[in-house]
Structure formats: structure tokens, C-alpha cells
Amino acid sequence: MTPAAEADWRLFRGDGVPRAVDLPPAPPWRRFAPAAGGRPELPYLIEPKHADVVNAALHLRRPLLVTGPAGTGKSSLARAVAHELNLGTLLRWPINSHSTVREALYQYDAIGRLRETTLSRDRGERQPDIGTFIRLGPLGTALIPNGTPRALLIDEMDKGDVDLPNDLLTVFEDGLFEIPELTRLPEDVTDVEVQTADHRGTVRVHKGRIQCDEFPVVVITSNGERDFPPAFLRRCIRLDLPVPDEERLRAIVAAHLGEEALREADDLLQAFLRRRAPGELATDQLLNAVFLRAGGVDLDAEGLLDAVLHQLTGAL
Ligand SMILES: Nc1ncnc2c1ncn2[C@@H]1O[C@H](COP(=O)(O)OP(=O)(O)OP(=O)(O)O)[C@@H](O)[C@H]1O
Ligand SMILES: [Mg+2]
């Protein structure tokens, strides 16, 4: 690397001297700001036999349960399907230990409504509509009858409570849910405008019920930290994504960073393959290494390659 390029790469030098730095462009998969053109649509490569499992789920209108080691493209698959089939912005429901089906369907801000109602009464103004305080969650928004299905990613389902899969069964079966706060309203209030999860505005709910017309394209991912009950598994189509072989890795690198970056990175690919055992290295770690190499970084420098291609399992 030339001294000038080396100075560019070493943004932080640890010498305590404050300086103005221009951050070089981020890798395409780490771009967020609208100023930088927003998130670019990233290439997604899938073997035909795996694409056919996706197709089976699409035809059967069943959720697709995607398993496989870290970084094998489980979450990205949902975005790729939504993009390719023009299903609109992907709705995301990231699961954690507190996730509930109820909050994924809708949230009701009772305290906000009480406060606003009191305020407007004091000011002699018209009371705000109840729909202002109801926001559909990602699952609720996915079930809005729309003529075409929406795409929903239920990410890392195995991080959720043990009851979560069973709680989803009825919604998966019927494509229907009710908002009791609306079903309890007086008979003459039949339609209420509520907010949607993607902040795109409102949707009219009739008699407090939402019934999908096309079941959404649902992709559920799991890292296999928990088994799911048979009743839940029966309702899903299973896709187990393997770690990509050398040929597929080459194709993924070329698609993300170009043929030239791939040609320059053969030793990195070999190092990646040598170090990799299933679940211990992820595809994007190779992409990170090739990205740095393409930017002129000396990855043979002590410890740098180990820092990028670090193992994902075992004690740190
Ligand atoms: N088949 C693929 N085609 C293109 N890029 C891929 C593919 N698989 C993985 N990648 C790259 O690896 C990154 C990680 O993929 P993704 O987040 O989908 O993995 P994951 O299986 O959901 O991992 P985790 O279990 O850690 O959540 C993606 O952003 C993408 O850059
Ligand atoms: Mg993921």
C-alpha cells in the first residue's frame, strides 16, 4: 500500500491527536443514509433446489421456516423474495424473549388516549378518534386485505418465548384477528381508521376485525436454539440453508464486490475455507475481508485477518 493510502486506512491511530477524517464509503451492505442513496438492493444467490422450496411455500400460501448456521442468508432471503416479487417494503418482526403475538398484531396506547381525551375536553375541542391510538404491528399490517400479499419476516423465532409458536397457530390458520377495543365500540361506529406498522398512513378497520384476502408471504428464521412443536411445524414449509460451498462463495463475492475483487482475493477465500467449520464462520465475514482487501488494506498484518475471520462459536 502507498504511504498515502496507508494513512487513509489508519483513521484511528491511537496517538491521541484530534484530527478531521473523511470516512471512506461504507460497504454496500452497511449503507443506511438516504443521502447515500439509501440501502442498495443487495444481490442474493440461491440454489435452484432451495428456490423451489420457497416456491412450494408461495404456492401453498404457507409460512417458510428457514433454518441454517449464522450468516447463511436466512434473513436476507425474505428481503430477496419481497424485492423479486414486488411485494412492497418487507415488514419485519424481530423476535426477542418478550415478543408476543398480540403486540405484533396491534398496540393500543390507552394512556395516550386518556391524556389526549382529557386535554381536548378541557380545551372544549372534539375528542380524538380511538384509531389514532391504535397502531397495527408487522403481523397485523401483513394481514390487511390488499389484493396482493405483503411479505413478513419473523426473524429469529427461536429467541422467543416457548409459547410463541402455539400462539401463532390460530392467526396462521385463519388469517384473521380482532381488536377488542374496536369490537366493543357502539353499534353505529363500524369503521375506524388505524395506523399501520410501516408508517405509511392508515387503514380502515370494519367492526374491529381484520381478515386477510391473500395470506402474506411469511419467512420465519431460526438458528435452531429451540425446537418448535409439531402443530407449528406442520403449518410451515421447511428450508434448511447449508453453508455455501466454494463455488457459491465465489459467486456471492463477485456479485457483491465484482470479479476483480474476487480475483485479488483467492488467498482470502482459501483461508476462509480452511478456517470454516459449519457455524463457525459466516459468508459476510468473507465479504468483509474481501472489501478491506479491495480497499488496499494489508490483511496479512498481525491479527487483522483473525479479527475479521473470527470464529462465531465457543468461548471468546
Ligand atoms: N446466498 C447469499 N447471497 C448473497 N449474499 C449472502 C448470501 N448468504 C449470505 N449473504 C451475505 O451474508 C450476509 C448475512 O446474511 P443474513 O443476515 O441473511 O444471514 P442469516 O442466516 O440471517 O444470519 P444470522 O443467523 O446470523 O441472522 C448478508 O447480508 C449477505 O451480505
Ligand atoms: Mg438473520
- pLDDT (tens digit per residue) in 181-213: 999 988 888 899 999 998 778 999 999 999 999
In this structure, are strands 64-67 and 237-240 parallel, antiparallel, or unpaired?
parallel
Q: Which amino acid is at 158?
A: D
Cβ-contact 51, 66 below 8 angstroms: no
How remote is the CA of residue 309 from the centroid of ligand 2, in Å?
A: 18
What is the side-by-side strand order in the sheet with 217-222? 91-94, 151-155, 217-222, 64-67, 237-240
pLDDT classification of 314: cutoffs 50, 70, 90: low
Which percentage of the chain shows pLDDT scores above 70? 93
Match 429467541 to its residue by C-alpha cell: 159
For ligand 1, say whether the CB of 290 is within 6 Å of any of its atoms: no
For ligand 1, say whether the CB of 78 is within 6 Å of any of its atoms: no
Rounded distance between C-alpha atoms, residue 26 and residue 116, angstroms? 44
Segment 51-63, tens digit of pLDDT: 999 999 999 999 9
How remote is the CA of residue 312 from the centroid of ligand 2, in Å?
A: 14
Neighbours of 46 (CB within 10 A): 19
pLDDT classification of 83: cutoffs 50, 70, 90: very high
- Does pLDDT of 4 surpass 80? no
Atom 23 of ligand 1: nearest residue by CA position: 71
Can you give the C-alpha Rg of the chain in angstroms? 24
Region at 16 (left for phi over 0; alpha for psi -120 to 50; beta for the rest): left
Residue of 33, 162, 9, 32 whose CA lies nearest to 100 = 162
Most confident of 15-29, 84-98, 120-134, 270-284: 84-98
For ligand 1, say whether the CB of 196 is within 6 Å of any of its atoms: no
Q: Spell out the residues 6+ positions from residue 103 whose beta carbon is closer than 8 angstroms to its own.
A: 137
- Does pLDDT of 277 surpass 80? no
Rounded distance between C-alpha atoms, residue 310 and residue 148, angstroms? 43
Which percentage of the chain shows pLDDT scores above 90? 64
Q: Report the pLDDT averaged over residues 291-311.
A: 83
For ligand 1, say whether the CB of 51 is within 6 Å of any of its atoms: no
- CA-241 nearest atom, ligand 1: 21
CATH superfamily assigned to domain 48-240:
P-loop containing nucleotide triphosphate hydrolases (3.40.50.300)
For ligand 1, say whether the CB of 73 is within 6 Å of any of its atoms: yes
Q: Report the pLDDT averaged over residues 104-131.
A: 90
Query: What three-state secondary structure class fits 74?
Result: helix
- Does pLDDT of 272 surpass 80? yes
Rounded distance between C-alpha atoms, residue 268 and residue 299, angstroms? 9
Q: Report the pLDDT averaged over residues 14-24.
A: 90
Cβ-contact 257, 290 below 8 angstroms: yes
pLDDT classification of 48: cutoffs 50, 70, 90: very high
pLDDT classification of 121: cutoffs 50, 70, 90: confident
Rounded distance between C-alpha atoms, residue 212 and residue 151, angstroms? 13
For ligand 1, say whether the CB of 252 is within 6 Å of any of its atoms: yes
Cβ-contact 41, 81 below 8 angstroms: no
Predicted local distance difference test score (pLDDT) of residue 224: 83
Terminal-residue alpha carbon distance, the chain: 32
Q: Spell out the residues 6+ positions from residue 43 whose beta carbon is closer than 8 angstroms to its own.
A: 252, 255, 256
Looking from the CA of 232 toward its CB, the CA atoms found within 13 Å total 15
For ligand 1, say whether the CB of 185 is within 6 Å of any of its atoms: no
Region at 119 (left for phi over 0; alpha for psi -120 to 50; beta for the rest): alpha
Q: Spell out the residues 6+ positions from residue 223 whose beta carbon is closer than 8 angstroms to its own.
A: 67, 69, 70, 156, 158
Rounded distance between C-alpha atoms, residue 297 and residue 255, angstroms? 21
Predicted local distance difference test score (pLDDT) of residue 152: 98
pLDDT classification of 315: cutoffs 50, 70, 90: low
Predicted local distance difference test score (pLDDT) of residue 298: 83
- Does pLDDT of 171 surpass 70? yes
Neighbours of ion ligand 2 (CB under 5 A): 74-75
Beta bridge partners of 221: 66
Question: What are the sequence ranges of the domains in the chain?
Answer: 3-10+244-308, 48-240
User: And the C-alpha cell for 30?
Assistant: 452497511
Rounded distance between C-alpha atoms, residue 267 and residue 276, angstroms? 14
- Does pLDDT of 139 surpass 90? yes
Atom 20 of ligand 1: nearest residue by CA position: 71
- Does pLDDT of 255 surpass 90? yes
- Does pLDDT of 36 surpass 60? no
Cβ-contact 275, 103 below 8 angstroms: no
Query: What three-state secondary structure class fits 134?
Result: strand
